[in-house]
Structure 1
Amino acid sequence: MTSRKGLPVDKIRELEAKAKEIGLSESLLIENASSNLFEIIQKLNLGTKAMVVAGRGNNGADVLSCARKLLSRGFEVKVIVLSEKPPGQEALRQKNILEKLGILIYDLKVGAIHELPLLLEESDFILEGIFGIGIKGEVSFFHKEVIAAINESGKKIVSCDIPSGLSPDEGLVLGQAVEADYTITFLAAKKGFYLNQGPEYCGKIFVVDIGVSRQMLEEPV
């Protein structure tokens, strides 16, 4: 069971920093997180056709890494990378790995948003990692359109760490937010999951670790 009291972003950042201090690299944390993300998705039995929608940050890297794990277990996976801005280092790294494995990646540009509903139609479920807990301010018009298309797809939606577009501390919709059926979150539930609009957008919440648990990171050294 998930506690009805989530952690604020600054506390989550402290735990992430502690994980790095003990020697876990960003890349390793992403691999660990995506493995646990995959394990929950597999248990949910949402179907075998996954559409992975990735943003430019580490949440995008998480779902791209998870896409590789889904493929290795026999899922049919299609990948959309949102290309409003260039990807960050870890997301680019994960994207390059998929490309070297011969995985077709659709770079969705601002002018091609009309193609998204048809792409989403081909899946049993959607795994999204557009924004994470670092989201600041209202989402762009491009991202509003992407999120609206995901919400209107009629597919089961899995959000990585937090429904994209939801503020992690306040639980407010920042212009548009993903209406998740499941939120698989790392280390601890976020404070905003239980405030304001948060409960309407998170669906069922699963808390997983990142190769080291919250309790281990909180233990005094």
Structure 2
Amino acid sequence: MTATQFPEMLHDAAGVRELDRRAIEQAGIAGETLMVRAGEAAFRRLQEHWPHCQSPAVICGAGNNGGDGYVVALLAQNAGLHPRVYATVAIEFLRGDARTMAERALAEGVPVTVLADVLPDLSGHDLVVDGLLGTGLAGTVRPALASLIGHINASGLPLLALDIPSGLSADTGAVLGAALSANVTTTFVGMKRGLLTGAGPALTGQLYFEDLAIPESVQLSLAADCRMVDMHQLSRFLPRRRRDAHKGDHGHVLVVGGDYGYAGAVLLAAEAAARSGAGLVSVATRPEHVTALLGRRPEIMVRGVEHGDDLGSLLKRASVVVCGPGLGQDAWGFGLLGKVLECGLPLVLDADALNLIAQHQLHWQAPAVLTPHPGEAARLLNADARAVQADRFAAVHELASRYQSTVLLKGAGTLIACTDQPVALVHAGNPGMASGGMGDVLSGIIGALLGQGIKPYDAARFAALVHGLAADRAVLHQGERGLLATDLLPHVRRLVNGIENGIDE
């Protein structure tokens, strides 16, 4: 596995410690060897990204993360650089391999300053190497270390994090009171799930994974309750179509929503469903919107509805219902949602459908995919968005259990959960997606995949990956600012057809 490839299995801190133990006990790799390999891998990144670095400040804590830092400092000195270690504890208080590496660095003349209660003077340095806290952090960062983290962040120096930016939870991706913001992070042994969700993507910078030559048999010996979604698996669920296929073979998606002022939401969902391969797409919306929607996309069937009873004939013809885009929370939307929840068809519930469900404690029996952002998830859990973001894994598990549905929790590092599968994590997408209509496109993609026979959990995880990858492709030539939801659609079509290379001009 190369440094830039991420493993499918994602672990919490305890899982990575277990992998480390198995590498030592089962594969016979000494802990000292693993620490040296980690330091060597990190130093290669230092040289690659900052070839003109002359004076790195290496911040070393009391654990093995600090030991990695001492290895980096020694390698830097041997390469002719002028490193200085700033240690939070004196070497005599270190234990095990970390102490061995610290003593080795000191014996080779690496200068070490023990900080005690003094903040380091970073003015003479051109880079900071973070070996402060690592994955062993439990609870909130202590005030003295929080002050040190704030001091380093305020220095403006580029930062290389060893294994994980200090203060970031490896388990949840939450900031534990204070955290360093890295330009580059090199993580070791096992991929920490917290690096890829919550605050993780914003704090890690460019992320690299190094397995430290641990045998694949050891890596695969430990099960993981979180897995990365792999685009190459999608072809198993969307094989090449038969030459005698017809539109009825690929699902009829009904999109319900679009209250006054929100016609665009149902149009985006419907067009995304059509571009994702749905055989037929219908829209039920306010009568005033029919002409505009047909003018934009004549391939979509549009019906004006005044109340829930008007959905009867539409529901009979549909195979999947997407409900929520632009639905509103007034009597019109509430009435439509009530009929949808009774229909027994597979459902995608988004936006105001989720808000109405939370407000009125509504229930349903059909298989469903819920697609909340953190605010909507908080309302569904009767919590607040900060609590959701503090542990996105716990939140998505609780939502899946409470609503007995597949749940797609949006945000950086989208998570997908159901009651009988590992959590899926999507490592794709970019900040340009923070614009109106993106969620409507996602709901349409999910609806189309459901209509093509993919089960809810798989439809949700592959739709989220297609959505994120489409956005990443859409920004390559023109950047993130100004990205529109409709910009994703050409790339969505290419991705669901297995055309992964090449960018539409």
Does the TM-score normalized on the shorter chain lie above 0.5?
yes
1:14 to 10, 18, 21: 18
- TM-fit CA distance, 1:66: 1.3
Classify 1:194/1:218 alpha carbon distance in 2 versus 1 (closer, same or farther; 3 Å).
closer
2:58 touches 2:85 (CA, 8 Å); kept in 1?
yes
Map Cα deviations across residues 153-181 of structure 1 (whole Å, 9 max, x no partner): 11000100000011101011111101111
Partner of 1:218: 219
1:218 partner letter: Q
Structure-to-structure mapping, 1:176-215, within 5 angstroms: 176-212=178-214, 215=216
1:18 touches 1:217 (CA, 8 Å); kept in 2?
yes
Structure-to-structure mapping, 1:128-139, within 5 angstroms: 128-139=130-141
Aligned length: 214
2:161 touches 2:184 (CA, 8 Å); kept in 1?
yes
Structure-to-structure mapping, 1:58-207, within 5 angstroms: 58-83=64-89, 86-110=93-117, 112-113=118-119, 116=120, 119-207=121-209
Map Cα deviations across residues 53-97 of structure 1 (whole Å, 9 max, x no partner): 000100000010111111111111111111289323322222221
Distance 2:48 2:157 in 1: 17
Which deviates further from its counterpart, 75-84 or 134-143?
75-84
- TM-fit CA distance, 1:2: 4.7
Distance 2:141 2:90 in 1: 12
Q: Indicate the structure whose relative CO is greater, using CA pairs within 8 Å and at least 6 residues apart.
A: 1
1:61 partner letter: G
Distance 1:75 1:163 in 2: 23
Distance 2:85 2:14 in 1: 31
Distance 1:48 1:63 in 2: 16
2:77 touches 2:110 (CA, 8 Å); kept in 1?
no
1:40 partner letter: R
SS of 1:200's equivalent?
helix
Which deviates further from its counterpart, 83-92 or 28-37?
83-92
Task: Compute the RMSD of aligned alpha carbons.
Answer: 2.0
- TM-fit CA distance, 1:144: 0.4
Distance 1:84 1:199 in 2: 33
SS of 1:207's equivalent?
strand
Classify 1:218/1:98 alpha carbon distance in 2 versus 1 (closer, same or farther; 3 Å).
closer
SS of 1:102's equivalent?
coil
- TM-fit CA distance, 1:189: 2.7
**Alignment partner of 1:49 is 2:50:** no
Instruction: Indicate the percent of aligned positions where both proteins have the same amino acid.
Output: 27
Partner of 1:27: 32
2:75 partner letter: K
Contiguous gaps of at least 5 residues in structure 2 = 222-505
Distance 2:5 2:140 in 1: 28
- TM-fit CA distance, 1:210: 2.0
Which deviates further from its counterpart, 137-146 or 1-10?
1-10
Distance 1:7 1:219 in 2: 12
SS of 1:10's equivalent?
helix
2:32 touches 2:97 (CA, 8 Å); kept in 1?
yes
Distance 2:95 2:168 in 1: 21
1:2 touches 1:205 (CA, 8 Å); kept in 2?
no
Distance 2:114 2:78 in 1: 22
Scaled by the length of structure 2, what TM-score is found? 0.40
2:76 touches 2:83 (CA, 8 Å); kept in 1?
yes
The structure having more radius of gyration, on CA atoms, is: 2
Partner of 2:45: 40
1:217 partner letter: V
- TM-fit CA distance, 1:216: 4.4
Distance 2:197 2:77 in 1: 36
SS of 1:159's equivalent?
strand
- TM-fit CA distance, 1:4: 9.1
Scaled by the length of structure 1, what TM-score is found? 0.89
